Amino acid sequence: MTTLASCPSCGAALNFRPGTMVTVCPYCKALAARRDRNPELLGKVADLVDTGSPLGLGASGTHAGRAFTLAGRVQLKHALGGVWDEWYLALDDGRWGWLAEAQGRFYLTFTQQPHGTLPPVDALQPGGPADLGPDGLWTVGEVSQATFHSAEGEIPWAVDPGATYRFADLSGRNGAFATLDYSEEPPLFFLGRETPLAELGIRGGLRKPAKVGVQGLGCPHCGGTLALHAPDQTQRVGCPSCGSLLSAADGKLAFLKSLKQPRQDVVIPLGAEGTLQGERVTCIGQLRRSCSIDDTDYPWNEYLLLDSQHGFRWLVQSDGHWSLATAVAPGEVPAVRDGQKNLSALGASWRRFQDVTAVVEGVWGEFYWAVEQGERVEVAEFVAPPRSLSCERQAHKGGGEVNWSLSTYLEPETVWSAFKLEGAPPAPQGIASFQPNPHKATLAKGALWLVGALGLLLALVLAESMTHRNVELFHQRLDLFELARIDPTSAAAPDRRIPAKRPAPGVQPATEPQEPVYFSGPIEIKNGFQNLALTLEAPVNNAWISLEGALVSETTGVAELFLVESSFYHGVDGGESWAEGAQGETVYLSAVPAGTYVLRLAPTWDGRVPPVRAIDVRLRQGVLRWLYPGLALLAILIVPLLLVLRMTAFETWRWQESMYSSKTGGG
C-alpha cells in the first residue's frame, strides 16, 4: 500500500510505497526521508546526468514471474569520475531489486543475508578471490568507492547526500554478480547476475529518447569539429586536431588539458566503418600504448570499435600483427596468483607469456572511461594461439579494478578487407605471442591424408601377407670339396687362428680361386608376380665364401644374375673384441615369368681349400620384404615429420620472446 505525503519543501504530493526510505520530489528535487509523521527534508539533489540510459522511471517489467516497476534511480559517481545509474525495482511481492547499469551492461541484484562473515574491504584485492563461505567463492572485479550524485523517484535505502562509501564488485561464473556495500556495518550483500535488458521485458516509463547517430561537437580548445559516435557513453575525448584532452558530460565537451601526443601512425581513421566477424563496427578511438622490457620500449596501437549493439571491442595492432579483443567477466576466469604459469579458463588451457606495465602514450577520439595520458595498468598475458587472455589491473583512488579481455588473432588482410584500407598491409614482424602456428594448421589439414595413407598401407601389408606364402622352390646343401673336386683328407686344415688385426680391405686372395659350378635341376616357377629370395648360409669363421649365381630360364635364356656372400670375421684388437659380417645372406630377385628355370651357382673363396665343407642354398618365392612397407611408411611420415619440426621451431621462436619460457625460467 502506497503512503501519500507532502513534500517538505514545496508541498507537492509524494509517494512512499512499502520499503521506500527516501523519495525525491519530482517538482523541486527535494530529498524527503520517510519519518513516523511527516517526511524530513534531507536536502536537494543535483540535476541528473544524462547517461543515455534506455530505462525510465515508471517502466514496468517482469522478473522470475513477478511484475515490477522501476520506482527510483540513484546516480553514483565513480572514483575515476564517471557516473553510473542504479535503478530500483519494486516487485509486486514487496521485494526490491537493484538494477545497476554500467557501459551498456545491466546487473540485477537483491539484498541477501550472508550465511557467514563478509570479508573486510581492505582484505579484497582486484582480481583476487573473495571467499564468502557458504555464499561461494568469487573473483573480485573491482574495489572502489562511490559518491552519491543525484536521484529520482523512490529509493529503498537511507540516502546521505554527498556521502561516499566503499564497495566491492564480485564476479562469478555464468554471469553471476555480487556487490559488497560497505556503507553500513556489517556490510550489505547484494547477489544476482548480469541480466540482458530484453530478459526483463521492460516497457513504458519516462525516458529520454536514446541518442542515435553521430553527434557533432566543437572542440572547446581549437574549435575543430569532433564527431561523437557514442555520446551517451563517452567520458573522455582526445581532440585529433589540437591534442587536447576533453571531458564529455551531458552532451558537452570541456577542456581538461593539452597533451603532448606522440606521432600518430595509425592506419584506421576515426569514424571508419567496417565489418569484422560479421559485425558492423565503427572506429571511434585510437590509443597508443607501450611497455618497456629491458629498457626497450615496445609500442602498439589500439582502436576502440563501437558495434551495432553499442558494445565496445578493441582492435590491436602490434608490429604488423592484428587482434580483436572483447571483455570477459572476471568471474569467468579463476583467480590468478603472481607468477602462475598455467591457467585453465573458458574451456581452454592458457600459458602465461609475459607481464608488462602498459602505459597510455597517445589518445585520439572518444572513450567510455576517463582515460588519461600516462595511465598505467599491469598486464598479465596468457596465450592459447590463436587467442590470448589478458588481465589488466589498475589501481585507483579507493581501490582498483581488474579487467579481463579475450583477443583473437586476425590476419592483416582481414583488417584491410574489413575497413577497405588502401594498399597492402605491412608484413608482420617476428612472431606474435598468440599468432597461430601456420605449420600446425597445415599439419591438421594433412591429418586426413596421413590417416588415409596409414590405413592404405595397413591394408596393402595385410593383403601382401595373405598372398605371400614364402614358398620354397629349391633347397640344396652343397659339398664344396666335392664341387671343387678336392680330397678332404689331402686338404690342409684351414687356418682357424684368430687374427690379430682386422683384414685390410681389398686384400686379394693369395692363390687363384677354384672354379666349381653347380647346376640345379629344373625349377618350376608358377607365379610370375612374386619376388624370389635366395639365401646362402655358410658357417664361415674368419673367412668368406661368395656365391655368384644365375637363375636362367630354360626357354628364353633370360637370367637373373646375383651375388650373395657369407663373410664373418671376429677377433680382439687392442684388448677389445670385435666381429663383423654374418654367416649368411639373402639376395632378393624380381619376379620372373612363370616357367622352368635352372639355378647355376659358382662359389668362390679365399685360397685353394674352401673354409667350410658345405654351404646351404635356398630359393623361396613370395617373401614379404618389410623394407618396402618401411619405405612407404617413411614416405607417409616424412612430410608430417618435417612439419612437426617446423612447428616446433616456430614455437621455440615464439617462446624465446616470453619471460615465462623454459630458457628464461621466468616466474
User: Residues 640, 418: contact at Cβ < 8 Å?
Assistant: no
Which residue from 125, 215, 290, 604 is in contact with another protein, where contact means CB under 8 A? Answer: 604
Question: For residue 433, which phi and psi values (nearest 5 degrees)?
Answer: -60, -35
User: Residues 527, 469: contact at Cβ < 8 Å?
Assistant: no
Residue 385 identity: P
> Using CA atoms, how far apart are residues 115 and 110, in angstroms rounded to an integer?
15
Using CB under 8 A as the binding rule, whether residue 448 contacts another protein is answered as no
Of the candidates 99, 78, 84, 101, the residue with the CA atom closest to the CA atom of residue 155: 99
| Residue closer to another protein, measured from CB, 46 or 634 | 634
Question: For residue 200, which phi and psi values (nearest 5 degrees)?
Answer: -90, -10
Which DSSP category does 93 fall into?
T
Using CB under 8 A as the binding rule, whether residue 463 contacts another protein is answered as yes
For the CB of residue 177, give the shortest distance to another protein in the complex, in Å: 49
Using CB under 8 A as the binding rule, whether residue 194 contacts another protein is answered as no
Using CB under 8 A as the binding rule, whether residue 641 contacts another protein is answered as no
Using CB under 8 A as the binding rule, whether residue 638 contacts another protein is answered as yes
Using CB under 8 A as the binding rule, whether residue 441 contacts another protein is answered as no
> Using CA atoms, how far apart are residues 289 and 364, in angstroms rounded to an integer?
12
| Half-sphere exposure at residue 113, Cβ-oriented, CA atoms within 13 angstroms | 0
| Residue closer to another protein, measured from CB, 256 or 461 | 461
> Using CA atoms, how far apart are residues 644 and 16, in angstroms rounded to an integer?
73
Using CB under 8 A as the binding rule, whether residue 531 contacts another protein is answered as yes
Grid cell digits, residue 504 = 685390410
> Using CA atoms, how far apart are residues 325 and 304, in angstroms rounded to an integer?
10
Query: Measured between alpha carbons, how far is residue 507 from residues 502, 574, 579 in Å?
Result: 11, 22, 18
For the CB of residue 616, give the shortest distance to another protein in the complex, in Å: 17
Site stretch for another protein (CB under 8 A), options 205-213, 392-400, 404-412, 544-552:
544-552
Using CB under 8 A as the binding rule, whether residue 486 contacts another protein is answered as no
For the CB of residue 438, give the shortest distance to another protein in the complex, in Å: 11
For the CB of residue 453, give the shortest distance to another protein in the complex, in Å: 6
User: Residues 531, 590: contact at Cβ < 8 Å?
Assistant: yes
| Residue closer to another protein, measured from CB, 193 or 625 | 625
What part of residues 616-635 is at the interface with another protein (CB under 8 A)?
A: 624-625, 627-629, 631-635
Grid cell digits, residue 529 = 608376380
Using CB under 8 A as the binding rule, whether residue 575 contacts another protein is answered as no
For the CB of residue 596, give the shortest distance to another protein in the complex, in Å: 13
Residue 589: enclosing H or E segment and its boundaries? strand 584-589
Q: What's the Rg (C-alpha) of the chain?
A: 43
Which residue from 509, 526, 578, 579 is in contact with another protein, where contact means CB under 8 A? Answer: 509
For the CB of residue 601, give the shortest distance to another protein in the complex, in Å: 10
Using CB under 8 A as the binding rule, whether residue 529 contacts another protein is answered as yes
Using CB under 8 A as the binding rule, whether residue 222 contacts another protein is answered as no
Helix 627-656 to helix 438-467 angle, to the nearest 10 degrees?
170
User: Residues 326, 316: contact at Cβ < 8 Å?
Assistant: no
Grid cell digits, residue 80 = 575515476
For the CB of residue 531, give the shortest distance to another protein in the complex, in Å: 4
Which residue from 442, 479, 570, 571 is in contact with another protein, where contact means CB under 8 A? Answer: 442
Using CB under 8 A as the binding rule, whether residue 564 contacts another protein is answered as yes
Interface contacts to another protein, rule CB under 8 A: 442, 446, 449, 453, 456-457, 460-461, 463-464, 467-468, 503, 505-509, 513, 515, 517, 519, 527-532, 544, 546-548, 550, 552, 556-565, 567, 587-591, 600, 602, 604-606, 624-625, 627-629, 631-636, 638-639, 643
